[in-house]
Chain A
Amino acid sequence: MTVASAYQPGRRIIVLLLVLVVAIGALVFQLLRLQVLDNERYLAWGEDQRMRTESLLGKRGDIVDRNGEELAISLQAPVIVADPLLVTDPAAQAEALAPVLGAEVADIEAALSSPGRFVYLARPTTEAVAEEVRKLGQDGVFIREEPERFHPNDESLARGVLGQVGVDNTGLSGLEAQYEDVLAGTAGQRVTERGINGKSIPEGVREMLPAVDGAAIELTIDRALQFEVERALRSSVEANGAQGGTVIISDPSTGEVLAMASVATTDTGRVATTSDNRAITWTYEPASVMKAITFSAVLNEGEATPTSKRVIPSKIDLWEETFTDETDYGTKWMSTSEILRRSSNTGTITWAGELEEPTFYQYLKDFGFGQSTGLGFPGESPGILDPVETWPGTHYATIALGQSIGVTPMQMLAAYNVIANDGVYLNPRLVKSIGGEPTYPTQERHVIEPEIADDMAEMLAGVVSGGTASRAQVPGYNIAAKTGTARKIQESGGYVDSAGYFHYIATVAGFFPAEDPQLSMIVVIDEPATDIYASQVAAPLFGELAAWSLRHYRVSPAGDVVFGSDDDLSAVGPSAATVPDGAGD
């Protein structure tokens, strides 16, 4: 009876049923939790594991020269990154990585031990380094690719014009910054569903928002000419012991800049291309190159012709200032052409006095001084031109001589282009087309009459054939140019430095061939040490580059054709005998 009472099959079944109910209940609860209560979380978790979102970077647009030659292009370059959470032994891994990356062990170890899940170890780097890192096969260290800007010619060619981009491929300076919105592409996105092996899951989610590449920019720059200009400019600055120099060559009929270079002597004595585009961003007093602009206004106002003569004194007292020429010749009958050829200060002041100040001021504005050229280049200087209402008594005279006015080399060349372009001002341009769409001048104005422009071209040709710019001659061609030697304003505001010395800037501006201008050029040499005069320092470089560019663009000689040896060439080549060194420069 006891045994029978102990054996209670009903209870066992009940217990079993209870266990089953609990187990099934647990399963149902888990099912509910997975499918109903927490389903969003697990859904997201699963999607997070499967869904891979990749950012697609739009390729930064290329910058090419006027012939389609690449000046700056973007490529995918490797970068070394790490996920510190996956790094197993930061110290040992840093020990192995540091020599490959060329970094300090401590820096790498600190990066590998940092909080967070992403850190750059090398950005950007080379394929060779990436391959070495790949061979190490370290945990948590990965190789990714990011776009990097390359300059195929070398880093210095047109450096100041092109500008630079940062490590994030964003333009920082120059045209890279100016046209950032055009060059930078629009990022896209690709979402794919991938399995555990990283392969796409067939018929899985696949969404694509394509990246849009940046537009290519075609410059007006000619790569070959740019290279030769930089090479010759570096050589000239080095030979003259100068602080730096700038050269711009343009097509006066279109305003297109064909070459634009600035170099400077570094602290180590090496002459290198500057990153700041001094041709546009630097302002200085141009001195006698301004006389061509003054006489353009005088002739256009009908006050004189190229042959008009006057008695010119070698010394003029104006208000409390005394203006003199290079030599004391007393008085002399001089034509306007001769005044320009000899670069007479007193002769220029005499004729400039015929102009009403507001009229002269308007000419200066029309020639493009005291305002932006319209290039829109980052850091472009508008120059300095005081309002005519504020001009003191001597201002018209000093401005006529290229003082009391601040210009950029680009502004001065654009003004000479007016003379070369039948009296019409065209704003200079550095960009020929954007994304295949051509650009056009945004400023065009009639400044002087075409016949006055012809007269001025002839007068300027006389400056080269028998005046201060004779060393800018090119055998077989008529070159029109004017020299200018300016005292450089010091930081103190005056012309004399703390040691009591003057510093000079030598300029030659002009165009060629004089009878049918195809090219125009300005050469500026900053603080030459060998000689101060533009006729000695800047004119030879002007002539050298004029000869090179005329050959480069196959411009036929118009003057006497020269045959034979170097001896023959010297007979018609630069002659220092026509004008005393630096006289009236």
Chain B
Amino acid sequence: MATATASAPKRSTPTTGRRDEFEVVKQRGRKLRIGIVVAAILATGILFGLVAFQAIIVTNQTTLDDLDARISQAERQNARLRLEVAELEAPDRIRAMALALGMEKPESVAYLEPIDVAELGEPLVPAVEDEGEVQ
């Protein structure tokens, strides 16, 4: 019995006479191979893609962990600097520094009262009208 070969016609043949013995069979083997190859390539590609994606995730996770650690470190440093600033601004430190620099606490305080300008009378130096006339 004849089997489907590569040379089998692709067109439909009359169903009468001796030719009825022949049957057109689709060429499955070749397509299957192509399909397998394509599928293999796709699968390999997907696998590579997944691996690459996982690698990116791992890298990003590491970066995230590093960032977390840096945030914690920065927060700790910020708190320590805040403490340092507060210590530098502390009154006891400022007082000690002032005394070390030779400053002294005044015995008393003198208050100044603003004087009414109108009570001063005529100014001792005449007002300058022309710069050229000033002696």
Instruction: Give A residues with C-beta under 8 Å from B.
Output: 69-70, 73, 75-76, 150, 152-154, 157, 199-203, 223-224, 227-228, 231, 475-476, 547, 551, 557, 561-564, 566, 569, 573
Contacts and interface: CB of A to CB of B under 8 A. Distances in A.
A76 B91 CA distance: 25
A69 B83 contact: no
B130 to A, nearest CB: 38
Given A557-B111, A563-B113, A152 B61 contact: no
Contact of A157 (B58, B89, B92, B113): B92
The 4 closest A-B CB pairs, nearest first, are: A152-B86, A227-B91, A202-B61, A153-B90
Given A203-B57, A557-B111, A573-B108, 9 more contacts: A75-B76, A152-B86, A152-B89, A153-B87, A199-B61, A202-B54, A202-B58, A562-B111, A563-B111
Contacts of B89: 69, 152
B91 A152 contact: no
A476 B60 CA distance: 71
Interface of B is mostly: helix
A573 B90 CA distance: 32
Given A199-B65, A224-B91, A150 B108 contact: no
A551 B109 contact: yes
A221 to B, nearest CB: 13
Contact of A73 (B54, B57, B83, B113): B83
Contacts of B108: 475, 566, 569, 573
8 contacts: A69-B89, A76-B79, A150-B83, A154-B92, A227-B92, A476-B111, A551-B109, A557-B111
A192 to B, nearest CB: 9
Nearest to B59: A202
A298 B115 CA distance: 45
Contact of B107 (A70, A157, A562, A566): A566
Interface of B: 54, 57-58, 60-62, 64-65, 76, 79-80, 82-83, 86-87, 89-92, 95, 107-113
A75 B58 CA distance: 33
B91 A564 contact: no
A223 B91 contact: yes
B117 to A, nearest CB: 18
A474 to B, nearest CB: 9
A152 B113 contact: no
B82 A70 contact: yes
Contacts of A201: 61
B76 A76 contact: yes
Nearest to A563: B110
A561 B90 contact: no
A271 to B, nearest CB: 15
Given A75-B83, A76-B79, A566-B108, A200 B92 contact: no
B82 A73 contact: yes
A279 to B, nearest CB: 20
Nearest to A75: B79
B88 to A, nearest CB: 9
A561 B111 contact: yes
B86 A69 contact: yes
Contacts of A152: 83, 86-87, 89-90
